[in-house]
Amino acid sequence: MPRPISATLHLSAFDNNLNVIRNCAPQSKVWSVVKANAYGHGLSRIWESLSATDGFALLDLNEAILLREKGWKGPILLLEGFFQPQDLTLLDHYRLTTTIHSDWQLEAIQRARLSAPLNVYLKLNSGMNRLGFPVRQAETVWQWAKSIANIDQITLMTHFANADNPTGVAQQFNDVSDASANIPAPRSFANSAATLWHSQTHGDWVRPGIILYGASPSGRTADIADTGLQPTMSLCSEIIAVQDLSKGHGVGYGSRYQASDAQRIGVVACGYADGYPRHAPTGTPAWVEGVLTRTLGTISMDMMMVDLTPCPQAVTGSKVELWGRNLPIDDVAAAAGTVGYELMCALATRVPVKIEN
């Protein structure tokens, strides 16, 4: 028998979440963002559940090629563009749409020998200060791109730094809108947070990632409670042993939790080598046989301990959900000082994955 841990993918939730996105942005086409191996879910496992999308956006050329080889014929967008001029041979062969964020990429396309022109996304830096041309260069860069025979359709793109928090998108949105007012090209500005909360930014293509997987862009479960989004992943395991502690007994490495009274605890087959965050402190929520309880002490490589005080019926073999349908991943992430994105991306390859419709 394998260890009792597994991740279940709820494929019908993808369809549901894509519909939520379409209702939010009815005028826009949707790039389903599936970078990082579909946020840890496994691109080859889930892409067909999203085949009603208008396109897939990702970073890794190998993931783009995988999608083509699996049979996806629609648009694929490389969100960081290509990394060296030689990559253009593959972009050409697999007909990939590429982001362009730097001069050298335009020069490389200009010089390349392609079988047909490529569609490009011109990335404008409107304040994130990560990738992109300064917005004040928008017209110059657009003119340059337009003059290149190897370039077919041009879309303008930017990325928001604060669409999920009170700072908002106004400054960035105004700057990019002003700078591109005279450019007759489609727009793609909105990540998940802007798709949900800043409809003025939707433009021609939205680029949602995290909400496809049913988690919150802000990291707060309450912020997506009314959206109808459903989680796409549940990480489940079992209690493999029970310990009865006396007052003063410590738990786990460093004895960082100490029982203040007699206490029953469960040992769960899940640890940081499965992708559970080691920095999750005592008190991080866990679900045991229908009851919400909490972790106790340091997370080990392969195990963790949970408080069985609220669930006296729990025994060896009892079902535990670390996150998923019964326990939002954002609640676990918030307790551990991170975001749902990081938890799903970190799911370890040793965890068996079950597929459910």
Ligand X SMILES: *Cc1c(COP(=O)(O)O)cnc(C)c1O
Helices 138-146 & 170-179 angle (0-180, nearest 10):
50
Name the catalytic one among 35, 123, 272, 276: 35
Q: Which is nearer to ligand X, 194 or 235 (CB)?
A: 194
For residue 283, give the amino acid letter. G
Least separation in angstroms between residue 266's CB and ligand X is 34
Least separation in angstroms between residue 210's CB and ligand X is 4
**Which of 8, 192, 293, 298 contacts ligand X by CB under 6 A?**
192
Q: Which is nearer to ligand X, 7 or 163 (CB)?
A: 163
Q: How far apart are alpha carbons 303 and 286 in whole angstroms?
A: 13
Least separation in angstroms between residue 84's CB and ligand X is 20
Positions 31 through 50 that interact with ligand X (CB under 6 A): 33, 35
φ/ψ (deg, to 5) at 273: -75, -10
Going by C-beta distance under 8 Å and a sequence separation of 6 or more, which residues neighbour residue 42?
9, 353
Per the CB < 8 A criterion, the answer to whether 120 and 98 are in contact is yes
DSSP E strand stretches across the chain: 6-10, 29-33, 55-58, 76-78, 97-100, 118-125, 133-134, 151-157, 187-188, 205-206, 233-245, 250-251, 257-258, 263-268, 285-288, 291-296, 304-307, 319-323, 353-356
Part in contact with ligand X (CB under 6 A); list of ranges 81-89, 176-184, 209-217, 242-250 = 209-217
Least separation in angstroms between residue 63's CB and ligand X is 13
The 325-344 site mask, x for binding ligand X (CB under 6 A), equals: --------------------
Residue 258, strand partner residues:
250
**Which of 17, 177, 191, 216 contacts ligand X by CB under 6 A?**
191
Q: Which is nearer to ligand X, 159 or 187 (CB)?
A: 159
Q: Which is nearer to ligand X, 192 or 201 (CB)?
A: 192
Residue 207 annotated as binding site:
no
**Annotated catalytic, 35?**
yes
Q: Which is nearer to ligand X, 207 or 294 (CB)?
A: 207
Part in contact with ligand X (CB under 6 A); list of ranges 134-142, 165-173, 202-210, 332-340 = 202-210
79 near ligand X, rule: CB under 6 A: yes
Part in contact with ligand X (CB under 6 A); list of ranges 19-27, 83-91, 165-173, 201-209 = 201-209
Going by C-beta distance under 8 Å and a sequence separation of 6 or more, which residues neighbour residue 297?
250, 251, 252, 253, 254, 255, 256, 257, 282, 305
Rounded to the nearest angstrom, the gap between the alpha carbon of residue 203 and the centroid of all alpha carbons in its chain is 21
Q: Which is nearer to ligand X, 203 or 266 (CB)?
A: 203
Going by C-beta distance under 8 Å and a sequence separation of 6 or more, which residues neighbour residue 7?
233, 234, 235, 236, 347, 351, 352, 353, 354
Per the CB < 8 A criterion, the answer to whether 135 and 175 are in contact is yes
Name the catalytic one among 70, 146, 247, 253: 253
Q: By rule CB under 6 A, what count of residues binds ligand X?
A: 11
Q: Which is nearer to ligand X, 134 or 283 (CB)?
A: 134
| Stretch (H or E) spanning 111 | helix 103-111
217 near ligand X, rule: CB under 6 A: yes
Part in contact with ligand X (CB under 6 A); list of ranges 43-51, 65-73, 203-211, 319-327 = 203-211
Q: How far apart are alpha carbons 132 and 188 in whole angstroms?
A: 14
Residue 130 annotated as binding site:
yes
Per the CB < 8 A criterion, the answer to whether 41 and 344 are in contact is yes
209 near ligand X, rule: CB under 6 A: yes
The 135-174 site mask, x for binding ligand X (CB under 6 A), equals: ------------------------x---------------
Nearest Cα neighbor of 39 from 65, 13, 58, 17 is 58
As given in the structure block, the two tokens for residue 108 are: 């490389």
Residues that bind ligand X (CB under 6 A): 33, 35, 79, 159, 191-192, 207-210, 217
| Residue positions annotated with a catalytic role | 35, 253
Residue numbers belonging to the annotated binding site for substrate: 130, 301
